[in-house]
Amino acid sequence: MKAFRWLLFGALLYPLGSGVAQEPTPFPPVKPESVGLPTEAVRAVADEVAGYVKAGTIVGGELLIIKNRKTVLHEVYGDRDREDKRPMERGTIFNIRSMTKPLTGVAVQLLVDDGKLRLDDPVAKYLPGFDNDKSRAITIRHLLTHRSGLPLTIIGAKIDQFPDLQAQAKAVGEKGPQFKPGEKFWYSDAGSDCAAAVVEKVAGVTIDRFVTERILRPLGMSDSFYPSAGDDPRRARIASLYMGRPGNWTRARKGDGAPMYPFAWGSQTLYSTPADYARFLAMWLDEGKVGDKRVLSKDAVARVLTPTSVMSMLGSDAAHLTGFSDLKAFYGHMSVLHATGTTPEQARVVAFGHSGSDGTCAWAFPGRDLIVCYFTQSRGQMTTIRLESVLDRELLQAGRPRAPVPEELKPYLGTYYANFMHYKNTPFRVVFQNGRLAVDIPDQLVFELRDPDKDGQRAFVASDKISIGFAKGRDGKVSSMQLKQPGVTFELTTSPVKLPAPLKKEAVEKLLGTYQGDGADGTVEVVLKDGTLRVSVPAAGADVELAPRTDPASWEVRGIPGAVFTFQVNKDGAVVSLTAELPGGKRIVRNRVEK
């Protein structure tokens, strides 16, 4: 979920010409029908990703589909750097964040194959920071399966607070686990970094050097590397990072800027391309071989792909979301596994791979000899899970009969228009999916709904804190849909509404500026954007839209009933503060900050 580099061995990691000479592709292009895939199904997947760019859900992306080791689609969409007007190109290099973890896991498995360590060895045998009462019970297996109990991270605002990975791992061990080791799955970047630190101790070289020499080079992954302070020509091909939310992306880091991380980690920091990562997944499909050369033992591949836990959401015990129908997300040894069954013992793996929080993901389907790599640089959106449902429908479930919609559910199907937060007459669709009603939120996911409670509310399967209700008119037909969250209810209409005329700057100019609250209330910016007055929270990368009321100093928050912002003025008519009255009775006063 982050990224990295190494300074000392920069000259050793990259042979001459490695930044410009790509390995010949092992996946030659063919027409989809030649390998048994309908062209229209492959095109539907590509159109889905193109739609993400068109809707502003992502800034840019690259999609690679390989069937029977033949490329049936390889396309790019949108921009590599929007501000510099640089379009996405094949061969763009992405920060793959947590997709680094499987390579760290394979590095550990290689040392097991070499007989240099055992998975049930205590980490304290190799890392002295774990030799204490809190951390002594943690094993290497715990690190690989995210069952160590260690926290997500110990890295704070200062990303270079440690001089090297060994010092970072020492601090993790001294901090100790949050839970009893082995008790449950708890996703941990800190634990993954410690796994890499073990590799460094045993192998006697840094993790980036080990991975490069033992994995990247043998697999021909010449476009995969850990950026360093050196002048590596591949850095010019890195996609710029965008943060924010769908429709409101801000460039957070230029791709060809200074390296992001002080040294290589195990949890992240590898940069790669879809074509390179496909080589890595193909090695797993081939049980550890590349051509006639064995890189990893068959036993090691089996360990990697054996489910050990039901996978939970980041920092939560809630089950991880997946877009694949009839499958559940499990975790193996540094691998995400989509499988049938409800427990690790029952699970039969259908797909494996991993994702990264900057918007990258890759899946391999061993029963179909199918690899799909989808990379973006738009951090925090949910299109990777959304694309899973499209892959499921178009490539996995194609030809299977669809269940009929029960008559009692048909009246609720259709389009409802959202006008709250950043949505403006945005269509939300209610559909029938996997035997349930589901609501399709276009820049998020298709959320399946539970059966109605006594009040007619249908909770999201993914979260019982969010629910959907429907209202009917006198004619008995559905007239609106309500989306209920804790403390607020949003109403969606069955027809678009008339939106207010754009505001002119001179009408609201005296309201614009910075307002500072106390403590956790933080700073907000009042801005005019796209003809609307907005209160922006820079720290959260979010904003709310204001709509005028009868009193010119008072504005309601569009789409959040009961939320009102009022501007206070002094005797000279100058705005001096902003008061927010929120649902539930909370009141926050922020004073205007003079420029």
pLDDT at 452: 97
- Say how many domains are in the chain: 3
Residue 19 in domain: no
**Is the per-residue pLDDT at 539 higher than 90?**
no
**Is the per-residue pLDDT at 9 higher than 50?**
no
Judge if 314 and 428 occupy the same domain: no
pLDDT of 56-65, one tens digit each? 999 999 999 9
Kindly report the average pLDDT of the chain as a whole number. 91
- Where does a domain end: 329, 363, 396? 396
pLDDT at 541: 57
- Where does a domain end: 493, 527, 545? 493
Say what the pTM is: 0.86
**Is the per-residue pLDDT at 2 higher than 50?**
no
pLDDT at 559: 67
**Is the per-residue pLDDT at 270 higher than 60?**
yes
Residues 6+ apart with CB under 8 A from 560: 420, 421, 488, 490, 544, 583
Give mean pLDDT, residues 89-112. Answer: 98
Give the C-alpha separation, 86 to 585, whole Å: 48
Give mean pLDDT, residues 57-79. Answer: 98
CATH number at residue 575: 2.40.128.50
Number of H helices, E strands in the chain: 12, 31
Full residue range of the structural domain in which residue 477 is found: 407-493
Strands 271-272 and 94-95, how do they pair? antiparallel
Residue 77 in domain: yes
pLDDT at 585: 83
Residue 5 in domain: no
Judge if 159 and 195 occupy the same domain: yes
**Is the per-residue pLDDT at 543 higher than 50?**
yes
Judge if 129 and 278 occupy the same domain: yes
**Is the per-residue pLDDT at 7 higher than 60?**
no
- Where does a domain end: 396, 416, 449? 396
380-389 b/e (C-beta count within 10 Å ≥ 16 → b): ebbbbbbbbb
Judge if 271 and 344 occupy the same domain: yes
**Is the per-residue pLDDT at 542 higher than 90?**
no
pLDDT at 371: 98
Judge if 412 and 378 occupy the same domain: no
For 279, the enclosing helix (H) or strand (E) is helix 274-285
**Is the per-residue pLDDT at 277 higher than 80?**
yes
CATH number at residue 145: 3.40.710.10
Residue 128 in domain: yes
pLDDT at 420: 82
Judge if 178 and 314 occupy the same domain: yes
> Do the Cβ atoms of 42 and 31 come closer than 8 Å?
no
**Is the per-residue pLDDT at 22 higher than 60?**
no
Judge if 260 and 112 occupy the same domain: yes
CATH number at residue 483: 2.40.128
Strand partners, 579: 566, 589
Residue 40 in domain: yes
Give mean pLDDT, residues 283-301. Answer: 97
Judge if 420 and 391 occupy the same domain: no
Residue 11 in domain: no
> Across 149-215, where does the E strand assignment appear?
none
In the chain, % of residues over pLDDT 70 = 94
Give the C-alpha separation, 376 to 369, whole Å: 24
Judge if 414 and 310 occupy the same domain: no
Strand partners, 64: 74, 373
Give the C-alpha separation, 63 to 374, whole Å: 5
**Is the per-residue pLDDT at 176 higher than 60?**
yes
pLDDT at 20: 38
Give the C-alpha separation, 35 to 341, whole Å: 29
Give mean pLDDT, residues 240-268. Answer: 92
Residue 13 in domain: no
Judge if 211 and 265 occupy the same domain: yes
**Is the per-residue pLDDT at 312 higher than 80?**
yes
Strands 488-493 and 554-557, how do they pair? unpaired
Residue 135 in domain: yes
Judge if 267 and 147 occupy the same domain: yes
Judge if 135 and 269 occupy the same domain: yes
